[in-house]
Structure 1
Amino acid sequence: MPADDPRATLCNDENRIVVPIIEETLDVRKRIVETGKVRITKTVTEREEVVDIPFLRTEVDVRHVPIDRFVDAAPPIRHEGDVMIIPVMEEVLVVEKRLKLKEEIHVTHRQTEYHDTQTVVLRRESVSEDRVVSADYGEQSISSS
């Protein structure tokens, strides 16, 4: 081996040869490389257009019509032309006042005569008068009873 050979320096012993072991590794990396640009422009245009859209409006007229009469049964909902008539019912208590003979009470009068003896104190007043006549007329005494 020549002296300028790099492998000759690896020998340090006369009988031995040292061979280095080398390993290669791979380092792969990615990088972004700009190759061009794209510009997007958006444009909005407007236009007016007349559109005839039909709409339907319904108006309802509600009237309360008082009837105030008695019926035997509830009348059904009915239509007279374009008017729908809905009966509104009310239950009312009907009170009727009549005379009813519930009973009779019979009262009988009886008179009976009986005698009973009792002692009763009776009073009587009597009056007596004495009149004296003066001397001019003569003295007289008049008594009356």
Structure 2
Amino acid sequence: MPQVDQPKIELVEETVSIDTERVMTGRVRVATQTEFVEEFAHASLGGERVEVTRVPVGQEVTAVPQTRVEGDVTIIPVLEEIVVVEKRLMLVEEIRIRKLATIEDVSVPVTLRKQRATVERRDIEARNEETSR
């Protein structure tokens, strides 16, 4: 039996393919500038100084008095032995030491660095126009 050609229908299908490509559109140039600026650094400095006062007492004592603190004053007894027919302990004077708080404001010049940046955009199209002239 001979074969008869049967009609054929061909089907076609389209597909899409997407790719990306990097294109340079411009360049930038960044420059920094360093400036030196004189400024004053301010601070308050705390400290203490002492004030010494000698107070004559001239009193006979039988025992060595202790160093004592009265308020903000430290009292240190100063003794001497004197020769009499008998030996006596005399409180000759007291040394009083008082702490005084001090505050001193100072200004010290210091050099500080500060940087600034400038950005310059350089487009490729503008560059191409310059080279084609």
TM range, smaller chain: 0.3 to 0.5
- The structure with the largest strand share of the pair is 2
Q: What is the TM-score when the length of structure 2 is the normalising length? A: 0.35
Which structure has more relative contact order (CA 8 Å, sep 6+)? It is 2
- Report the TM-score when normalising by structure 1: 0.33
